[in-house]
Amino acid sequence: MAYLTGTATSPTDLLQQLVAWLDTLGWTTEMSQADTNGWRAHLSKAGVYVNLRANAGTKTGLWGYSLGWNDPANGIGIYVGTGHSAGAAWHAQPGGPIANGQTYTVGAWMRVPAAGPVAYHFFEDGAGNILVVSEVTAGIFSHMGWGAVEKAGSWTGGAYFFGDKSSYSSGAVGAYDSQNAWCPGSHSAYNGGVAAFVRADVDTFTGKWLSVGSEESDGYDGYTGRRCDADQQGRDIPSDKIPRCATDFMARQTSSLNAQANLVPIRWYAKRDDGGYSLLGRIPAIYASNAATKGYTVGSTFAIGADSYMVFPNFVALKR
């Protein structure tokens, strides 16, 4: 598993450093260049295309990049697609999640302050799953990532990506920017918007992305036409039709006997045509954890067997 830590001076600098690091891991840079008030980058590997866009607080229009992207204050936007078109806008690359009943792309967002130093951590698990963690202010962290779900059973699809905010809420500033992100891929994000997506064929819903969260009506907020629930609570509560890791359960996930922090997998469940749910699988190499509130220092590592894990608020990341 590859790992890199350092500091950046801005969202653009952070994105440029991320692109350079991904190049060392065999990703192909399709495009990396200035884009109006920020920087855009498009990379591919093994049929996965990730689209990234850094911004530092300047709006490009009433709704920003497109109707699905409320122009962000400071940070990096992300969505995954199926190809790259050099002539298309950053927010209109092929194969990304499309808002329900609309034609525009939706996605997720990682908070990054406009000016540095910005501490960051880059993780890769050896199987193409990427996690990026940024320190918004001292002790306050945001994140984004992408890769392939560790599947439960056999089904078509598997690509996923996540962030800390939905694309529609990405421009929101204020009290939330002083809060730590929930664990990656948890149940929704700031203001109830969708901040995680997974590509899965579910019954009659095929060739599309599922929205991880409770939203089932508003395309602006990232709803794509089919809901997917995480078992980890976020800004809202998962369906009562799936097993849920409630707040009181997570509060007990550090042993009172030996202080060992438990690793709780982050599982996703797809809503079926009949209203029931089926387990899709879990996000690899990332676990929900309360270690940061139970004596473990943020940024420290601990070992379980041959593996090491780095501590962040609300989650830990595998670090080999």
What's the confidence (pLDDT) of residue 208?
Answer: 97
Neighbours of 228 (CB within 10 A): 25
Q: What is the DSSP letter of 98?
A: B
Question: What is the Cα 62 distance to its own chain's centre?
Answer: 25
Residue whose pair of structure tokens reads 């879990």 in the numeric block? 282
d(CA 266, CA 171): 27
Mean pLDDT value of segment 183-193:
80
Is residue 199 in some structural domain? yes
Cα angle for residues 91, 97, 101 (degrees, 5° grid)? 100
Q: Is the pLDDT of residue 257 over 90?
A: no
What's the confidence (pLDDT) of residue 42?
Answer: 98
What's the confidence (pLDDT) of residue 177?
Answer: 73
Mean pLDDT value of segment 243-267:
73
CA Rg, the chain, in Å? 18
**Structural contact between residues 296 and 285, judged by C-beta atoms closer than 8 angstroms:** no
**Full residue range of the structural domain in which residue 220 is found:** 2-287
Q: Is the pLDDT of residue 255 over 90?
A: no
Burial of 196 (0-12, 13-18, 19+ CB in 10 A): buried
Q: Is the pLDDT of residue 247 over 80?
A: no
Q: Is the pLDDT of residue 62 over 50?
A: no
Comparing CA positions, the residue from 104, 124, 202 lying closest to residue 158 is 202
Is residue 91 in some structural domain? yes
Q: How confident is the model at residue 73 (pLDDT cuts 50, 70, 90)?
A: confident
d(CA 202, CA 259): 41
Is residue 315 in some structural domain? no
Classified as helix, coil or strand, 212 is: strand
Cα dist. 152→133, 187, 223, 316 in Å? Answer: 27, 19, 24, 22
Is residue 303 in some structural domain? no
What's the confidence (pLDDT) of residue 60?
Answer: 52
What's the confidence (pLDDT) of residue 238?
Answer: 87
Mean pLDDT value of segment 12-17:
97
Most confident region among 16-20, 89-93, 232-236, 312-316 by mean pLDDT: 16-20
Mean pLDDT value of segment 147-169:
94
- How many structural domains are present in the chain? 1
Q: Is the pLDDT of residue 58 over 70?
A: no
**Structural contact between residues 222 and 97, judged by C-beta atoms closer than 8 angstroms:** yes
Question: What is the Cα 59 distance to its own chain's centre?
Answer: 23
Mean pLDDT value of segment 70-91:
90
Neighbours of 284 (CB within 10 A): 20
> Buried b / exposed e across 77-93, counting CB within 10 Å, b at 16+?
bbbbbeebeeeeebbbb
**Structural contact between residues 42 and 30, judged by C-beta atoms closer than 8 angstroms:** yes
Is residue 298 in some structural domain? no
Is residue 299 in some structural domain? no
Q: How confident is the model at residue 63 (pLDDT cuts 50, 70, 90)?
A: very low
**Structural contact between residues 164 and 148, judged by C-beta atoms closer than 8 angstroms:** no
Is residue 305 in some structural domain? no
Mean pLDDT value of segment 249-277:
82
Q: How confident is the model at residue 249 (pLDDT cuts 50, 70, 90)?
A: low
What's the confidence (pLDDT) of residue 88?
Answer: 94
Residue whose pair of structure tokens reads 């918007």 in the numeric block? 193
Cα dist. 128→21, 91, 148, 221 in Å? Answer: 13, 23, 8, 28
What's the confidence (pLDDT) of residue 66?
Answer: 64
d(CA 212, CA 231): 10
Least confident stretch, 43-47, 54-58, 250-254, 266-270: 250-254
d(CA 170, CA 118): 19
Is residue 301 in some structural domain? no
Percent above pLDDT 90 for the chain:
64
Kindly report the average pLDDT of the chain as a whole number: 89
Comparing CA positions, the residue from 160, 177, 29, 49 lying closest to residue 110 is 177
Q: Token pair for residue 314? A: 């609300």
Classified as helix, coil or strand, 85 is: coil
